[in-house]
Amino acid sequence: MPTDFHHGVRVVEINNGTRPITTIATAVIGFVATAEDADAAAFPLDTPVLVTNPQAALAGAGTTGTLKQTLTAIAAQAQAVCVVVRVAEGVDAAATTTNVIGGTDVNGRFTGMQALLSAQAKVGVKPRIIGCPGLDTQAVATALATLAPKLRAMAYVHADAATTVAEATAYAANFAAREVMVIWPNLMAWDTTTSANVEVPAVAYALGLRSAIDEAQGWQKTLSNVPIAGVTGISTDVEWDLQQTGTDADVLNQANVTTLIGNSGFRFWGDRTCSSDPLFQYESAARTAQVLADTIAEAYLWAVDKPMYASLVRDIIEGINAKMRELKSGGYIIDGSAWFDDTENTADTLKAGKLYIDYDYTPVPPLENLLLNQRITDRYLIDFADRVNA
């Protein structure tokens, strides 16, 4: 309070109380592509470029490499916000893989997929859905699995070089990351450059569809069982039946591979990540954890370095609980709550400027296995004579 002399009235602002928590943007796509004939001004090498209209961006995407193909796939699903990093094609496939993975150049700039880490600082958005369609060798997929947690993003990768169900399931065993979803096989689509039906990366369509689902339904809905726009078929036959067990699709899904099926259009089929922790076996659980962690952490920048009064702690807890109620009401989580644990917050801990707030939540699981019990009975014939004579 002011201590200097004054004969009159003063107003001192007390800015206590809860602040509204805004959910982070989850539908932003980040991807790496090649295109030697792309407009270098529109897509400079190893630089995150913000694209707000994928269809319009095709004008500068060239026709070679993977850039045009990926933008076309995304545009067919939604007008998604994208961060594009174009890399140079190498002298061979191994050199291209190195360029895609990237690193830090002599000037300290991130290159390749690492440039996605600087996207928020350079273009104002953070990618939460990432991939390298058509370029995702096992080495690239491994690098994406390392990059994704840094961005709190979900990475979608193709089962590289797999031509059979057995090879695809074996490939998925290389990963133990909740941020990775393996997809097999690829899709087919019409290529306007070659005027032919060609194999296209399923990952490119997964990126666009994931963004579209986030916008239309929310991040608690998995990629599975939503029609894919702009495709004409599946590159490899996959046995699937809605009721029959033991199909190719079942084998793939059980091995944490999301596959593709044809039924009223073409759809991704599978909810699972490559997590070694069963708590995050579903894509919806992994993404819920990511969204809540960043949403709640970023919401409390204002509280850092404030005087730690009991009222401040109450405001933080009530703010989190209000957000949990909002998310529950919107169907994004089953429920959640926050609390103050005095066993963690000792006098010494508080004196050191540390405050522990606990919160829990229950993500919305997908209905992966619907079991219907069908029974035959004669009990509806008991009053048959009465109904005939009525």
pLDDT category at 52 given cuts 50, 70, 90 is very high
pLDDT category at 14 given cuts 50, 70, 90 is low
Own/partner long-range contacts of 163-169 (Cβ < 8 Å, ≥24 apart): 163/236, 165/238, 165/248, 165/251, 165/252, 168/252, 168/255, 168/257, 168/259, 169/251, 169/252, 169/255, 169/257
pTM score: 0.93
Classify residue 3: in a domain, yes or no.
no
For residues 6 and 299, the model is more confident at 299
Number of domains in the chain: 1
- CATH at 79: 3.40.50.11780
Please tell me the distance from the alpha carbon of residue 212 to that of residue 210, in angstroms, as a whole number.
5
Residue 16 has pLDDT above 80, yes or no: no
> What pLDDT digit, counting tens, does each position of 246-298 carry?
999 999 999 999 999 999 999 999 999 999 999 999 999 999 999 999 999 99
pLDDT category at 174 given cuts 50, 70, 90 is very high
> What pLDDT digit, counting tens, does each position of 348-376 carry?
999 999 999 999 999 999 999 999 999 99
* Residue 266: strand pairing partners: 262
Classify residue 4: in a domain, yes or no.
no
Query: What percent of the chain is modeled with pLDDT above 90?
Result: 91
Q: What is the mean pLDDT of residues 146-175?
A: 97
Domain span including residue 147: 29-217+224-270
Q: What is the mean pLDDT of residues 43-53?
A: 98
Classify residue 148: in a domain, yes or no.
yes
Classify residue 350: in a domain, yes or no.
no
Classify residue 197: in a domain, yes or no.
yes
pLDDT category at 2 given cuts 50, 70, 90 is low
Q: What is the mean pLDDT of residues 158-162?
A: 96
How far is the CA of 382 from the CAs of 80, 284, 375, 386, 388, in angstroms? 60, 48, 17, 9, 12
> Which tokens is 50 given?
């913000």
> What pLDDT digit, counting tens, does each position of 193-242 carry?
889 999 999 999 999 999 999 999 999 999 999 999 999 999 999 999 99
Classify residue 348: in a domain, yes or no.
no
Closest CA to 225 of 194, 256, 249, 254: 249
Classify residue 298: in a domain, yes or no.
no
